[in-house]
Chain A
């Protein structure tokens, strides 16, 4: 059995451009107008990944706890910005709330995985910490964006029901609980679905990467199981925190539904 990485030379890497040329050919033939974006995307992929390769090489060799922490904070901030931008129903949402939700859920779950489950030596080994936290963030980012968008979308759609409950003397939490449930479900459903089909329909990127890197498939599978479970925990915690931070923003200090939410129903 062949073990270890089969290296890709510069020439072989250049050959991969053929694949983009095929995609570009389809775009040109069908006049999809995607040629420019495709070319720009390809250039960015080469530049960004090459750059990050050098960064990671440095970070792995330095293996400094504080440097790793700063990188995680920066990753959380970028993820928070990206998730807030993916929410068409949510006007002017503060990035800081998304940031704290992501940071808290990622650090909590990431720490459990790295310190308690994998426990490398030293425990803050950058080679383990950075990819683990990266995977948690990548998935939590999508989860919180979905749940935040759904929270606002449902509140707009059900403003009349929320106000009717408030009129009966409901607290804001009682009035909006149904929307919060829907928002949490929306955030968590893709992760739960992926737990159902993993290995049957999809081979996750991390596992495939490890196998291509020469790891024993059994070992890769063990890692993948940990990753899947940590992602579901991180998404659940991230969504819960963000929705918890957010629902009060829909109400005035007197616990009435804000006018812009109420008016959306008319």
Chain B
């Protein structure tokens, strides 16, 4: 399998300069990289760095062999998409929330919002169609995180960076999410996902490599 995302000696500090972390790792096409480690070990920080949402202390990241410096920051973020543990929900209905990325100049030039696809993805995650017209601010935590995942899949990134995607979900919803991600990965080439989890337990996702931040300093391997 081809390398999709290569993390090359990314350095950052965690806490108030309490710990320095240096990370290298590989995400293969169609694969899943499970970033695990205890609280405060820098899992979320690493995901935000990978999405160019936080400055790094050094190192580089390559997407299909091209360094991130070859991309514009917003072009990179479109390809390497970060979904926060508590995803942002905007004012308006669920449908308006799903359309939000398509209002952006960079997205709307080459993607159209597909309502049917949105509805199908929602159904897969046990989100009924009637939800589309509901005020998004009234959604529960679990519903919000699933709507945000649908929104992420609609903009078709190459790499999905998911921060604790199962945290707010019950067992049924969690397995639906895992199934959907696995299908999304297999659907076409050039896709991959990196997930943060406390335990490393994301059973159901194959081709899974592990990046253990373990709270230790030094080079952490897959």
Contacts and interface: CB of A to CB of B under 8 A. Distances in A.
A263 B52 CA distance: 16
A164 B88 CA distance: 6
B105 A160 contact: no
Contacts of B106: 169-171
A174 B104 contact: yes
Q: Which of B55, B73, B75 has the most CB of A within 10 A?
A: B73
B100 A166 contact: no
Interface stretch (B24-32, B78-86, B114-122, B196-204): B78-86
Contacts of A255: 73-74
A257 interface: yes
B84 A160 contact: yes
B51 interface: yes
A256 interface: yes
B54, B75, B83 interface centre (most CB from chain A within 10 Å) = B54
B81 A256 contact: no
A90 interface: no
Of the listed residues A161, A256, A257, A262, the one surrounded by the most CB atoms of chain B closer than 10 A to its CB is A256
A51 B53 CA distance: 54
B54 A167 contact: no
B126 interface: no
A232 to B, nearest CB: 29
A263 B55 CA distance: 14
Contacts of A164: 84, 87-88, 90
B101 to A, nearest CB: 4
Which of A165, A166, A169 counts the most chain B CB atoms within 10 A? A169
Interface residue tally on B, bucketed by range: 20 to 34
Interface string B103-133: 0111100000000000000000000000000
A255 B53 CA distance: 8
A174 B55 CA distance: 20
B54 A169 contact: no
A254 interface: yes
A99 B86 CA distance: 40
Contact of B55 (A165, A167, A170, A252): A252
Contact of A170 (B74, B81, B86): B74
A2 to B, nearest CB: 59
B88 A160 contact: yes
Interface string A232-266: 00000000000000000000101111010010000
Contacts of A161: 88, 90
Nearest to B75: A169
A168 interface: yes
Contacts of B83: 167
B74 A169 contact: yes
Interface string A11-34: 000000000000000000000000
A168 B55 contact: no
A163 interface: yes
A256 B52 contact: yes
A167 B104 contact: no
B77 interface: yes
Contacts of A259: 54-55
B155 interface: yes
Contact of B101 (A160, A168, A262): A168
Interface of A: 160-161, 163-171, 174, 252, 254-257, 259, 262
Interface of B: 51-55, 73-75, 77-78, 81-84, 86-88, 90, 100-101, 104-107, 155
